C-alpha cells in the first residue's frame, strides 16, 4: 500500500533529512514511526501526501509512484489520506463544524451528506453536539480531536499523524492514542510518529525507527516486537 524505495531527501544547503530509506506498509497495518528529534520523521510523513518530494528514490501509494505526481493530481491523492500534522491548523474564526466540513467543501461533497459525515466524525472523536463551538474555547486535547475529525471525515483508507500527542498531558495523549487504535481496528491503515515509545506499547504495533535519516530498526523485517525490545 505504501512503499518507500531507497528514498533520500536533501535540502538546500546540503542538509540530508533522509538517506536510502526503504520499507513497505501493508493495508490495515498500524505502524509507529519513532526516532530522536531531527531523525527525519516529519520529512518522511510529508512525502506520502506530496507536501515534500524525494530527492532520490520512489514513494508509491497503492501502486502509484507519487514522487513525480503532477500538481493537479495531488488533491485527488489526498482524498484517500487523512492528515494530522504537528500543528492542528484549525481556523479559529470558524466553528468546529465548519473546520471539520472544510475537506468536504473543497471536494464538492453534497451538503446534506457532508453534514451527516461531519456529525458522524465529531461523534467518533467524542465531540458530539459541540459543532457550534469555536476552537479557541476548547482545550488542547479537544482541538486535537477536531483536527482528527477533519482528517477522517473523508473516510480515508490511510491515516497519517505527525506527533499528534506532543503537546498533550498524559491522560489526553492516551485518549488520542486509543482513537488511532480504534481507527486501525476498523481497517484503516495508520502511520503515526511519536516521541513517546510507551504510548502504543500495549497494542504491540510494528515500529519503524529512524536515526539521522537512516532506517535504524523495523520490527516487521527484523522479527517483530521482540527484536525491537532487545535492539541495542
- The string of pLDDT tens digits covering residues 2-32 is 999 999 999 988 899 999 999 999 999 999 9
Average confidence (pLDDT) over 74-92: 89
Count of domains observed in the chain: 1
Distances (CA, A) of 39 to 155, 214, 215: 30, 8, 9
Task: Let me know: does 61 contact 2? Beta carbons within 8 Å.
Answer: yes
Average confidence (pLDDT) over 84-112: 92
The verdict on residue 13 lying in a domain is no
Examine the pLDDT at 136 and tell me if it is beyond 90.
yes
Confidence (pLDDT) at 166: 84
Q: What is the CATH number of the domain that holds 87?
A: 3.40.50.300
Give CA angle at 163 (157, 168), nearest 5°.
120
Examine the pLDDT at 92 and tell me if it is beyond 90.
yes
**Domain extent for 199:** 26-53+73-218
Separation of alpha carbons 215 and 190, rounded Å: 19
The verdict on residue 21 lying in a domain is no
Q: Can you point out the beta strands (E) in the chain? A: 2-10, 16-25, 30-35, 56-61, 64-65, 81-84, 158-162, 189-193, 206-211, 214-218
The verdict on residue 210 lying in a domain is yes
Average confidence (pLDDT) over 36-42: 92
> What burial class does residue 88 get, using C-beta atoms within 10 Å of its C-beta: 0-12 exposed, 13-18 middle, 19+ buried?
buried
Average confidence (pLDDT) over 116-133: 96
The verdict on residue 149 lying in a domain is yes
Confidence (pLDDT) at 193: 94
How large is the angle between the packed helices 140-152 and 111-124, nearest 10 degrees? 140
The verdict on residue 224 lying in a domain is no
Going by C-alpha positions, the residue among 138, 154, 159, 48 that lies closest to residue 103 is 154
Query: Could you report the per-residue pLDDT of 157-211, keeping only the tens digit for each?
Result: 999 999 998 888 888 888 999 999 999 999 999 999 998 878 888 888 999 999 9
Confidence of residue 227 (pLDDT cuts 50, 70, 90): very low
The verdict on residue 143 lying in a domain is yes
Confidence of residue 226 (pLDDT cuts 50, 70, 90): very low
Confidence (pLDDT) at 19: 97
The verdict on residue 61 lying in a domain is no
The verdict on residue 195 lying in a domain is yes
Amino acid at each position: 500500500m505504501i512503499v518507500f524505495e531507497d528514498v533520500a531527501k536533501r535540502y538546500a544547503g546540503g542538509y540530508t533529512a533522509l538517506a536510502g530509506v526503504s520499507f513497505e506498509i501493508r493495508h490495515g497495518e498500524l505502524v509507529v514511526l519513532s526516532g530522536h528529534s531531527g531523525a527525519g520523521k516529519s520529512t518522511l510523513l510529508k512525502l506520502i501526501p506530496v507536501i515534500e518530494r524525494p530527492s532520490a528514490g520512489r514513494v508509491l501509494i497503492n501502486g502509484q509512484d507519487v514522487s513525480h505526481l503532477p500538481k493537479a493530481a495531488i488533491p485527488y491523492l489526498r482524498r484517500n489520506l487523512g492528515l494530522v500534522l504537528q500543528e492542528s491548523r484549525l481556523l479559529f474564526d470558524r466553528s468546529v463544524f465548519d473546520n471539520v466540513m472544510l475537506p468536504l467543501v473543497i471536494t464538492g461533497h453534497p451538503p446534506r451528506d457532508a453534514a451527516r459525515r461531519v456529525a458522524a466524525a465529531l461523534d467518533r472523536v467524542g465531540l458530539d453536539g459541540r459543532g457550534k463551538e469555536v476552537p479557541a474555547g476548547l482545550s488542547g486535547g479537544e482541538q486535537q480531536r477536531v483536527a482528527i475529525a477533519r482528517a477522517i471525515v473523508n473516510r480515508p483508507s490511510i491515516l497519517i499523524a505527525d506527533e499528534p500527542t506532543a503537546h498533550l498531558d498524559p491522560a489526553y495523549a492516551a485518549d488520542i492514542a486509543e482513537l488511532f487504535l480504534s481507527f486501525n481496528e476498523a481497517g484503516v491503515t495508520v502511520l503515526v510518529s511519536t516521541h513517546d515509545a510507551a504510548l502504543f506499547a500495549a497494542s504491540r504495533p510494528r515500529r519503524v525507527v529512524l536515526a539521522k535519516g537512516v532506517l535504524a530498526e523495523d520490527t516487521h523485517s527484523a522479527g517483530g516486537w521482540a527484536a525491537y525490545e532487545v535492539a541495542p
